[in-house]
Amino acid sequence: MELPDVPLFRGLTADEAEAAVTALRMRRRAFAKGEILLEAGQRAPALGVVLTGRVHMEHLDVWGSKTLLGQAGPGDLFAETYACLPDEPLRVSVVAAENGEALFLETGQLLQCGCEPWRWKLTQNLLRIAARKNLGLAQRSLYTAPKTIRGRITAYFSMLARQNGSLRFTLPFDRQQLADHLGVDRSALSNALSQMQKDGLLVIDKREVELKQVEEM
């Protein structure tokens, strides 16, 4: 199998890639929008790499309320923490947000002692990716901490503006997904966005947002 050009495999030679494919039992899997790739409660002996499309990490509570914890696009990993802790059941489900393809590789061999170049290169890449992902999770806690919906919107939109280097940006989620991601009711979210628009703090058209008077937010 030819390895895709994604961060996890950067730096590997052709021979190292061949050795990694065999040792980690890599396999490709196509998925369709809405398909559950991994379900909460399962074990995950393999970590996933998104090749095309996007997947969402979702959590359902006992009453059926959904929280959208994050998403993974091309080159991003999912279930890597659980793949490194195979006895730990998944606390979230991985659901396809659109049609695409993922690559799965078993981590058991990767975590074994060994001095093969492919092993330490993959491990280094995995650590870098995991560290960046942890930063993203820490960031999410900053915009879900405010008690008001308006406060959460303000914190999240401010973070997106900084990431994009512009007061204009495109939301990565639709309205329902945004509500799930911020942990709020969709109707209440729409009302808060409408009021913020009336107050002249932003302009929003579907997923397109432009912030105004940021210093007052």
What token pair was written down for 83?
């793949």
- Span 115-143, average pLDDT: 85
pLDDT recorded at residue 213: 66
Binned at pLDDT 50, 70 and 90, residue 138 comes out as: confident
The three-state secondary structure class of 66 is: strand
Give the whole-angstrom CA distance, residue 130 versus residue 178.
Answer: 24
**Environment class of 136 (CB within 10 Å of its CB; exposed 0-12, middle 13-18, buried 19+):** exposed
- Comparing C-alpha atoms, which of 177, 171, 135 is closest to residue 156? 171
Host H or E run for residue 106:
strand 100-106
Helices (H), 27-116: 80-84
Give the C-alpha separation, 86 to 83, whole Å. 5
Alpha-carbon span 159 to 138, nearest angstrom: 12
- Tens digits of per-residue pLDDT, 43-100? 888 999 999 999 999 998 877 788 888 889 998 999 988 888 888 999 999 999 999 9
pTM for this predicted structure: 0.74
Per-residue pLDDT, 216: 45
Query: What's the mean pLDDT in 129-158?
Result: 88
Mean pLDDT of the region 171-199 = 94
Q: Pseudo-torsion of CA 79, 85, 87, 93, nearest 10°? A: -20
Q: What are phi and psi of 85, to 5 degrees?
A: -125, 70
Average the pLDDT over each of 106-110, 115-119, 193-197, 204-208 and give the range with the smallest value: 106-110
Average model confidence (pLDDT) across the chain: 89
Q: How far apart are CA 96 and CA 31, in angstroms?
A: 7
